[in-house]
Amino acid sequence: MKAYHYDNLPGDQRQPHESQTPVTAADLAALGVLYYHMPSLDAVNELAAARGYLHRDEITVSPAALGDAYEAKVRSFFDEHLHEDEEIRYVRGGRGYFDVRDRGGRWVRIALEKDDLIILPAGIYHRFTTDETNFIQAMRLFKDEPKWTPLNRSEYLDANPHRKEYVSRFLV
């Protein structure tokens, strides 16, 4: 895992956009974002049991897996959004980026690759993209029945209870 402030320069979202301003795992944890390097599935299983993740599936995001829908899907993942549940991703292969907002509203880019696991808290605004290789395979873990419902950023989400809880825990 490598994290840094996003440079906000024009260009393909799949490029690194590295600003040379690093962000530490402790900085991410202060935002509620947890990172783990997990070189074995046993370690993932232990974390899943400890945190109550009962369900899982796997997704491959690539032109080969998604066909003609790939470009549109990757663009939609890059729309700023939140979820009402934790988002847990364990990278099984390939690479990608999760971007989250810091306390000042700046984007922090988190580069993930094989054996990286990230937990984003419910209510955090974020976005995702593959890198320039256009391939990532990830295990998605869920506490309840698998679901993935993005709520794109809008003013009405300020009143969302999951967003309010996130703000009160991590942004004040």
Q: What is the pLDDT of residues 146-159, one digit of tens each?
A: 677 899 999 999 99
81 is in an annotated binding site: yes
Where exactly are the structural domains of the chain? Answer: 2-7+18-170
Q: What is the pLDDT of residues 31-40, one digit of tens each?
A: 999 999 999 9
37 is in an annotated binding site: no
55 is in an annotated binding site: no
Q: What is the pLDDT of residues 90-144, one digit of tens each?
A: 999 999 999 999 999 999 999 999 999 999 999 999 999 999 999 999 999 998 8
From 109, 103, 126, select the one nearest 172 (Cα to Cα). Answer: 103
SS3 readout for 86-107: CEEEEEEEEEEEEEEECCCCCE
Q: In angstroms, rounded to a whole number, what is the distance separating the alpha carbons of residues 90 and 93?
A: 9
**Would the pTM count as exceeding 0.75?**
yes
- Domain 2-7+18-170 belongs to what architecture? Sandwich (2.60)
Q: What is the pLDDT of residues 14-31, one digit of tens each?
A: 999 999 999 999 999 999
87 is in an annotated binding site: yes
